[in-house]
Structure 1
């Protein structure tokens, strides 16, 4: 009997015999790409190293009028933090502020002014000009300490003010040097990112082999490539989530070490403040046999005639000095959690019963994200493999990547809080529910017993209500998926059909009964989830429905152009104005999906594309699915606008629906084009451009500085990210 090693050797030999030329070509291409990335990192991204090599460095230490410390450092204080140098009479190409790396890390704002041949006095911004911009410098980022200047001729006077928000004085400065030699910095992360971008460009180039590998004809190759893509996506998303360590809630000896307990391999800790512990507190309450939180509301809140008026609550809190919990449901003298209960039952309660600790919310968001990516990929593969004949691996990947990166989940990973968890989990259950339904339809067509698939699919779709109720509109896809089989063809009226239909309906009934019982036990109503009792910024009991709120919301959600600048990360919060003469609930957003995601520009051609499908197939299933997806997306956006407001994380509620519709529309167009024709090649090129812009926009939004994120909590470390991207500064 051959050994495992012999089997592996035999498989390798056979594979290489069949694919040796292709493997050699791929290996050579990868080596060439790595070489190009290496050259770019060495020469282009280290441009400052080469341009500064010939500078004549001048130390200004002897001109510093600062107090010296015992360790031969110069001390900047709250009183004396401005450096001024006169009569320099020299060219100045850059300034090196060498801060002592041993002091506590912080971000500083450096304001530089100078006089030169074009300016005999210090100049600043005017109505028609912009002066020297302030520069952010981190005391722990070597690259940020080198500041390039663009002067005209010789510099005579130089003024440097070192301040910033919440600066902790004193600041230790080791050296200040003009025309310093910029150090060589081979940034491994930037090198790998460059290599990854070049590999993507190589893989999706017009003549790439992935456009000649068809999902149906070559299942092994296509599945291997899809799995590899999913693994890379999951790795990158996980790395991004863990980068924002202040929101993760897990600690080891080398990660979040300040919160490590000193002996465990890994321990959890609370993040986000008291308001962020709602799910954990509900799990504790459930473990003790109650559905309301254990914390007692202050007496003044219980005595208020209208506890949902935020202004009145804030005044009462000031008078009494007793705080209250924000953004929880308050009813009949108790605090409740109005967010979907499924995450608690799935994660928090079992974790608390097993460990006695709070489940880290960010880990739940990551688990749901991974499940969503896997489910999306499986569902897309299902459609490509069994409902279309000409989908190539290239087209599949070209649509899978924006489907999982542009649907809003990256923003949920940016802020993996209890606000994001029900949305992320609802999306994960939705895609898996649809996948199981599709498997069931295939089993029913083969008469091999779809019951288990229908049960699993409907259970997932029903559990969505206990996560994010708005997303239950995706259950409407059951109509185009099952109408023909069970209504038109009257399969429902056969014994087998009735049994299958019961499997579709039963999970909804069971989950609905559980949720209605949960609601009744809390609020005395079967359908009241408690959102109206929320102690938030507005009185939800009187919010109601108002048509005036729809126009600004639809503009912000769909049509708002992106706001961009020339400074990394280029995308900025979009401005917002409204003529709605009432209270608008609005957080930072970055533009509407139709304006910022060019891949959605396929949608205006939906009617013509669907006409192609109707001429191609006698059934209307795919057409019905697309129509329901588009209608559901609009409905959810309207519901969000009316019930809650305009928030960036709500984009994840409906973006997936429009992107999924685009995927199916692209499949239809591709199905009607002959492989290798000019029209099909043009489709691939246009899609490539639209997808690239959409993905770049979605990724850049992840790096926009925001309150509470990595850029705010660890601003001194975020400066390294900026220096990595803006290598020329």
Structure 2
């Protein structure tokens, strides 16, 4: 009998006998791409090192008129923060402001002016020209201390000013300077993260090229290869998702000796801490209240709030707070003398309450967002795989991944991970429960053991009501998924069918009973979730429904083009204007999904593509699913605008629905063209461009600087990221 070692050796030899040639070709390609990425890092991204090698460095430190400290550094203060030099009469290629590394890190904006062969006086921006822009320099990032100048001939006079409040910049004085140099030599810096990013982009581009072998691996015909490819892609996505969440360290709420060490307790391997302010602890406070047998928060509202005739009028609240000096909790539900949490209760029961009972500490919200984001990725992947294997026969691994990646990346979850707050958690939970519910329903639609799958699917779908009630519209997908089996074919009239139908319905009744009891215990109403009692920027008790709010919301959510500039990360908040003569609730947004996600352009051909599906199959399941997804997406987007407003995180409520519909339409087209070589090649090229553009937009959106994010809290560290990309500066 062969030993385990012999079996492994035999398996390996058999595997190599079959795939040796393929593995060798893949290894050569990867090695060549790695070599090319390394060449880019050495010769392209370090171009300043080579161009500055023959510069004649001029040391201007001795000409500084600033106060010098005992350690040899110079102090820039709020009174003396301008350095000016005259009669230089030299070519200036760059300036190095060598800020002292010993001082607290900060980002400073520097205004540089000079006279040269084209300017006898200092010049600024005018109506027709743009002057030298402010240079952002991080005092602890070496590469950002260099500023390349584009001058016309020799520079005579040079003026360097640390921009303060008069120029719209925030500076903490004093700023310590070790020295100032012209035409300084740039150091060589091999950036491992940049090399890895370029390598990944090149590998992805190579893997998805139109002639790639992944388009010849059919999901149905090659289950092992396709599953291996899908699992690998998901692992990469989860790793990137996790890395991105922990990159925004100011919102994570966990600390170790090397991560968020300023909040580390000095003893534990890892400890939690509060982030986001008092308003961000609602779920944690509710968990503490539940542990003590209450459904309202422990903090007592100020007496002036309890005495107000209309406590939901923000203007009146603010005036009362100014008059008394007593603060109130913002964005919580206030009802009959108590604060309540109006957000869905399921995340509390799922994360916060168990964590509090076990540890006595507040659960870190960001970890909950990450867990449910990973659950969404896994569920969406499994659901898509289920459709590809059981409703379509010609989907290749390449086409599957070309659609799975934008389905995950463009659904809005990256923005929720960017801001992993308690606002994001219920949306993320609702999305995760929805995709797993749909997957379980699909598993239960065929096979012998239907009831457990159907019950689990309905339980997931019903729990959405306790997370993000808007997403309950996805439950209407039960009609196209089960209508043929239980109504058309009459399975509902059989004993087995009646039992399965009961498994579909029972979880909804159980969850509804629990949520209604929870609502009644708080507000004396079975259907009142408490959103109308929210102490927010407008009076929700009088908001009502108004058709005038729909047009600007429809344009913003669906049609508005992205607003872009020519500097990384290119995107900026889109402008907003309206003729609605009332209060509009609006936060920054970055364009409508149909303008920013080209993959959704497939929806313009829905009628024709669905006609293809009718010719392919006699059933109408896929058509029904697509129609429900599109209708649900429109309803949820407009309902969000009416009930709450126009916010970027709300895109996650409906983007998945339109993306899922687009994916199914692409599957239909793939089925039709899979045997037509010319048409199939064209489809792949178009799909590759649409998917790449959609994912690129979503990734750039992750890096746009915003209030409250890493770029705002740690701007000097964010500058390091910018320097990694803007290597030529």
Give yes or no for the alignment of 1:704 onto 2:704.
yes
Three-state SS of the structure 2 residue aligned to 1:223 is helix
Q: Which runs of no fewer than 5 residues in structure 1 stay unpaired?
A: none
Q: What is aligned with 1:193?
A: 197
In structure 2, the partner of 1:17 is: 17
Distance 1:320 1:5, change over 3 A: farther
2:274 aligned counterpart, secondary structure: coil
1:310 is aligned to 314
Aligned positions of 1:490-501 closer than 5 A: 490-501=490-501
How many Å apart are 1:83 and its aligned residue? Answer: 0.4
Distance 2:676 2:19 in 1: 23
1:3 is displaced (CA, Å) by 4.6
Residue aligning to 1:331: 335
SS in structure 1 at match of 2:198: helix
Q: For residue 35 of structure 2, what is the aligned residue in structure 1?
A: 35
Give 1:579's aligned residue.
579
SS of residue matched to 2:327: coil
CA distance in 2 between counterparts of 1:56 and 1:132 reads 24
1:156 maps to which residue? 156
* Residue matched to 1:726: 726
Corresponding position of 2:289: 285
**Unaligned stretches of 5+ residues in structure 2:** none
Q: CA deviation at 1:488?
A: 1.3
Deviation at 1:4, TM superposition (A): 4.3
2:214, 2:397 within 8 Å by CA — same for their partners in 1?
yes
Match for residue 625 of structure 1? 625
Partner of 2:455: 455
Task: Please list, as runs of the form range in 1=range in 2, the aligned pairs for 1:391-402 lying within 5 A after superposition.
Answer: 391-402=395-406
Query: CA offsets, 1:462-490, max 9 Å, x none?
Result: 00010000000000000000011111111
* Alignment of 1:127 onto 2:108: no
Q: 1:229 to 1:674 in 2, by over 3 A?
A: closer
The one-character-per-residue Cα deviations of 1:344-383 (angstroms, maximum 9, x if unpaired) are 0000000000000000000000000000000010000001
Cα separation, 2, equivalents of 1:6 and 1:377: 37
Q: Render the CA deviation track for 1:213-236: whole Å, top value 9, x for unaligned.
A: 000000000000000000000000
SS at match of 1:672: helix
1:262 equivalenced with 2:261 (yes/no): no
Deviations 1:289-341 (A, max 9, x none): 01000110000000000000000000000000000000000001100000000
Q: Alpha-carbon deviations, 1:545-592, whole Å to 9, x = none? A: 000000000000000000000111001110000000000000000000
Deviation, structure 1 residue 422: 0.3
When normalised by structure 2's length, the TM-score is 0.99
Q: Is 1:425 the equivalent of 2:443?
A: no
Moved >4 Å (runs of 4+)? 1-4
Displacement after TM superposition at 1:458 (Å): 0.2
Cα drift, residue 250 of structure 1: 0.3
Q: Who is 1:88 aligned against?
A: 88
Q: Decide which of 391, 394, 417 is 1:390's aligned counterpart.
A: 394
Given the alignment of the two structures, is residue 235 of structure 1 paired with residue 239 of structure 2, yes or no?
A: yes
Correspondences of 1:323-472 after superposition (within 5 Å): 323-443=327-447, 448-472=448-472
SS of aligned partner of 1:215: coil
1:373 and 1:2 map into 2 onto residues whose CA distance is: 42
Higher mean Cα deviation, 188-197 or 675-684?
675-684
**Distance in 1 between residues matched to 2:675 and 2:401, nearest whole Å:** 17
Q: Distance in 2 between matches of 1:519 and 1:493?
A: 36
Secondary structure at the residue paired with 1:172? strand
Residues 282 and 39 of structure 1, relative CA distance in 2, 3 Å threshold: same
Q: 2: distance between equivalents of 1:112 and 1:675?
A: 62
1:676 Cα deviation after fit: 5.9
SS at match of 2:209: coil
Aligned-pair distance for 1:163? 3.1
Matches within 5 A, 1:74-113: 74-113=74-113
Q: Displacement of 1:9 after TM fit? A: 2.5
Query: In the TM superposition, what are the counterparts of 1:238-257 in structure 2 within 5 Å?
Result: 238-257=242-261
* RMSD of aligned residue pairs (Cα, Å): 0.8
Q: Which residue number in structure 1 is paired with residue 611 of structure 2? A: 611
Look up the SS of the partner of 2:445 in the other structure. helix
- Aligned pairs, number: 725
1:35-94: CA deviation from partner (whole Å, max 9, x where unpaired): 000000000011111111111110101110011111111111111110000000000000
